[in-house]
Structure formats: C-alpha cells, structure tokens
Amino acid sequence: MISTANGPRWVLALTGGIGSGKSAVAERLAALGAGVVDTDRVAHALTAPGGAAMPALAAVFGPEIVQADGAMDRAAMRARVFADPQARQQLEAILHPMIRAQTEAELATCPGDYLVLVVPLLVETGTYLPLADRVLVVDCPVETQRQRVRARNGLPEAQIDAILASQASREARLTHADDIIDNSGDFAALGLQVDVKHSYYLGLAHQALAD
Ligand SMILES: CC(C)(COP(=O)(O)OP(=O)(O)OC[C@H]1O[C@@H](n2cnc3c(N)ncnc32)[C@H](O)[C@@H]1O)[C@@H](O)C(=O)NCCC(=O)NCCS
Ligand SMILES: Nc1ncnc2c1ncn2[C@@H]1O[C@H](COP(=O)(O)OP(=O)(O)OP(=O)(O)O)[C@@H](O)[C@H]1O
C-alpha cells in the first residue's frame, strides 16, 4: 500500500519484456476500473515537444537527437543507446529520476479501484518494487516477443536482439512474479485471464483497505 493525500492505495506492479503485452493488459485493467500509471507514457511526455527532459538530453546527446518540433527523435535515440551501454546509462541517468518523480505525483492523485503501476524495467532497476503490493508479469516466449515487435515497429533484428539483451531474462523476471499472465495466445485468451485477475485484485485491495 502507498499512502497518498486520498488515503492508502493498493498497488499492482505490472511488468514484462519488450512486446510482451503490458499495454494490452493495462488497457483492459483500466477499462475494468483500475487506475493506471504507465512509466513508458510518463517517459514519452517528458520527451515530447517542450518536455521537461529535453534541455538535459540535448545538452548531453546533441541536437541530432532533437526533432524539428522539439521532441526527442526516438528512432535516433533508440539506435544510439541500444548500440552503446554507456549512452543508455546516460539516458537513464537523466530520465529515470524524472520518470520516478512524475510517476509518484500521478500515483498520488490517480482515481480507480486500485492502482496499476506499469514498469517495463521493474526487475532490472528494482526501485519500484517497494511500492508494489503484488507483481504481475506478462509472459510469452521470446520468439513471440520478437514477432510482435517486428510486426509493430519493423525494427531491424539486430536492434531487437540488443533490446532483449539489455533486459532481464524471461526466467529472471518470472522469479519476481506473484502472478503471471500467459500472453502466448490471442487477444481473447489474454482478455479472459485479465478479467479473472482483475476480480482477484479487487478482492485483495478491498481486503487490504478493510484490515
Ligand atoms: C530508448 C527509447 C528512446 C526508445 O524509444 P521507443 O519509442 O522505441 O520505445 P518506448 O519508449 O515506447 O519503449 C518501448 C519498450 O522499450 C524497452 N525499453 C525502453 N527503455 C529501455 C531501457 N532503458 N532499457 C531496456 N529496455 C528499454 C521497454 O520494453 C519499453 O517498454 C525510449 O524507450 C527511452 O527513452 N528509454 C529510456 C527511458 C526508460 O528507461 N524507459 C523505460 C521505462 S521506465
Ligand atoms: N495476444 C496477442 N495477440 C496478438 N498480438 C498481440 C497480443 N498481445 C499483444 N499484441 C500486440 O503485440 C504488440 C506488443 O503489445 P503491447 O504493446 O501490449 O506490449 P508491451 O509489453 O506494452 O510492449 P513494449 O514493451 O514495446 O511497450 C502490440 O502491437 C500488440 O497489439
């Protein structure tokens, strides 16, 4: 439970590797009434035109990572950081503290029956784990992740390899799971699992608040 100005809130941390289905799960939980704060979305806002992270990013990485509209050039930055671990560390050193502060501010005011905190790097950084009452991992075979990322972004295979290599292994991530959603099937199979988990989390959240 986290304490907010609106009282204590029960928090589900939701994670998974790239292309595993975190956004699809979070979207459905939101439709069912959960309050969702997604650190990827927070990061996007910080790097949008006029975003609070842009001055520091331009100073460190140069004008070539800034688009004409003032937003971060995501493809350019992706190519750079997944080819160079030191550049990735520099990017994370700028963005992660800002993402954390904004995420905490949003959690403090987010409505919903309980809170869902979506953190792709939950296991890798460990810093969000203390906020979580429960950890839900969206899981599928790495080959399925590859296929879905390929279909969505058309990323070169070497870049998909580099992103996967920078993230925790499937096995390491699963050791942190209280619950697992298997997203190796279709959207219908995913939806059924999410609905069951949501009912369970509603019960846990109500129980925790009653205790
Ligand atoms: C590297 C960037 C420019 C790539 O942008 P792009 O639009 O291609 O991806 P997007 O932001 O939508 O993220 C998609 C997925 O990439 C993976 N990913 C993103 N950042 C990282 C990272 N630092 N390390 C490993 N994987 C990452 C995650 O699986 C994430 O869900 C961007 O992800 C970024 O700015 N990352 C740094 C911030 C960060 O660490 N975000 C993770 C959430 S806290
Ligand atoms: N069960 C499924 N069947 C078919 N396609 C799926 C399924 N689940 C997700 N997808 C597709 O796979 C892609 C990745 O899904 P999603 O964006 O939900 O994953 P993510 O974990 O949030 O990804 P990222 O880490 O890149 O932010 C999307 O294009 C989505 O539409």
Known binding residue 23? Answer is yes
The angle formed by the CA atoms of residues 25, 29 and 34, to the nearest 5 degrees, is 145
- Which ligand approaches the C-alpha of residue 27 most closely? 2
What pLDDT does residue 153 have? 87
Model confidence at 85: pLDDT above 90: yes
Give residue ranges with CB within 6 A of ligand 2: 16, 18-24, 40, 120, 148, 152, 183, 185-187, 190
Phi, psi of 13 (to 5 degrees): -90, 130
Nearest of 108, 112, 113, 117 to residue 42 by alpha carbon: 117
Ligand 1 midpoint to CA 40 (Å):
7
Whole-complex ipTM: 0.98
From the CA of 51, how far away is ligand 1's center (Å)?
A: 16
Calculate how far, in angstroms, residue 208's C-alpha sits from the geometric centre of ligand 1: 33
| Model pTM score | 0.97
Q: Where are the alpha helices (DSSP H) in 7-156?
A: 22-32, 39-46, 54-61, 74-81, 85-109, 122-125, 142-153
The ranges assigned to domains in the chain are 1-34+113-205, 45-111
Residue 5 has a pLDDT of 83
1-34+113-205 domain in CATH 3.90.180.10? Answer: no
Whose structure tokens read 């096995």?
171
197 in a labelled binding site:
no
Give residue-wise pLDDT tens across range 130-189. Answer: 999 999 999 999 999 999 999 998 899 999 999 999 999 999 999 999 999 999 999 999
Task: Please give, one letter per residue, the 3-state secondary structure of 135-148.
Answer: EEEEECCHHHHHHH
